[in-house]
Amino acid sequence: METFYSLYPAVKHLHLTLIAVSVLFFVVRFVLHLRQSALMGKKVFKVAPHVIDTFLLLSGLVLCFMIKQYPFVDPWLTEKIGAVVAYIALGVIAIKANRNKLFKVFAFLGAIGWLVYAAKLAHFKQAVLLG
């Protein structure tokens, strides 16, 4: 079991790297979407976000078990899950909604705002809304 916990730095680094890749991919996809680029039709832009986000979720779950803190038990983690859900919802609206560009830009900025809030919660481990 000691070996499991000694992997914490590696899993945390993997998780943070996956976050960076996921967000970078989101930003690139959003810009390509706004420019109505043909690249958005490529398979890599349809499949890669799901693969990246699956590994991101798995690494997050492993970290929860490693630090022995769980959603719906620890308020900061529950709030972080809510922020991530809001990020995902606004991200989907920003890229897939049949609305004008200004609306999509505001959805994109809202998604980034929720992402920043989730990062703050992860860093300080202090709930604001549920605390």
So what's the pLDDT on residue 93? 96
Residue 90 dihedral angles phi and psi, to the nearest 5°: -70, -30
pLDDT of 65 higher than 80: yes
Residue 46, CA distances (Å) to 7, 64, 96, 97 in order: 32, 28, 12, 16
pLDDT tens digits for 107-123? 999 999 999 999 999 99
Contact 87, 118 (CB under 8 A): yes
Q: Scanning the structure block, which residue is given the tokens 């989907």?
A: 92
> What integer pLDDT is reported at residue 26 of this predicted model?
97
Q: What pLDDT does 130 receive?
A: 66
pLDDT of res. 5: 77
The residue among 130 and 67 whose pLDDT is bigger is: 67
Overall average pLDDT of the 47-74 stretch: 94
pLDDT of residue 3: 75
- Tens-place pLDDT, residues 9-35: 999 999 999 999 999 999 999 999 999
Which of 17, 42, 27, 3 lies closest to 91 in space, CA to CA?
A: 27
